[in-house]
Amino acid sequence: MSDWWGRPKIEIAKSKSEWIWDILGAFFYIGGIVFLLFVWGELPDKVPAHFDAVGEVDRWGSKWELLILPGIGAFIFGLMQLLEKHPEVYNYPKRFNESNAEQFYLQSRKIVNQLKNMCLIVFSAILLESVSIAMGWGGGFGKWFLPVVAAGIVIQLVYGFSNLNKIR
């Protein structure tokens, strides 16, 4: 069966790696929300609301702004979950055909799955760090956070796209 793009619609079971990434993402996301609920009553009125490129707080805001992070996480989760369910809408190279569609769909879906869950983990880490600073438990991310996150995402994308390039 084909969709309106003329591409086959194929049901492919989630791979073990996708399940592992989903469990990790959910664990950090739900854990971050539970942690925030647990400390909410003890949080000061002003909490870190933004960090500069070297991980230092450059703006303080209301503790209510901390709810933005789980909100963005939920939006990203919903959007990327929808994309995961419909890999036939992605852009594929000219060598895409019915014989390799399943391989392209699975590998492309894995990339979206990993990015989705990496976003949930990063937003949860930022939430945890903001709470830690506000409570006086920690001093900030430091300059390692942004490069480590950027490198992790780039490495994941390079690996994923190199696997796509191997499909013939």
pLDDT number for residue 141: 81
d(CA 25, CA 93): 30
d(CA 33, CA 15): 27
Instruction: State pLDDT tens for residues 83-130.
Output: 999 999 999 999 999 999 999 999 999 999 999 999 999 999 999 999
In the predicted model, is pLDDT for residue 70 greater than 60? yes
Confidence band of 54 (pLDDT split at 50, 70, 90)? confident
Within the chain, residue ranges assigned H as helices are 16-39, 68-85, 101-134, 145-165
| Mean pLDDT over each residue of the chain, to the nearest integer | 93
Q: Which of 81, 85, 88 is nearest to 9 (CA)?
A: 88
**Is 33 exposed, middle or buried, given 0-12, 13-18 or 19+ CB atoms closer than 10 A?**
middle
Q: Which of 1, 5, 9 is nearest to 101 (CA)?
A: 9
Confidence band of 27 (pLDDT split at 50, 70, 90)? very high
pLDDT number for residue 1: 58
Whole-prediction pTM: 0.91
In the predicted model, is pLDDT for residue 132 greater than 80? yes
In the predicted model, is pLDDT for residue 4 greater than 60? no
Average pLDDT value for residue range 6-25: 94
User: Residue length, the chain?
Assistant: 168
Instruction: Kindly report the number of other CB atoms within 10 A of residue 133's CB atom.
Output: 19
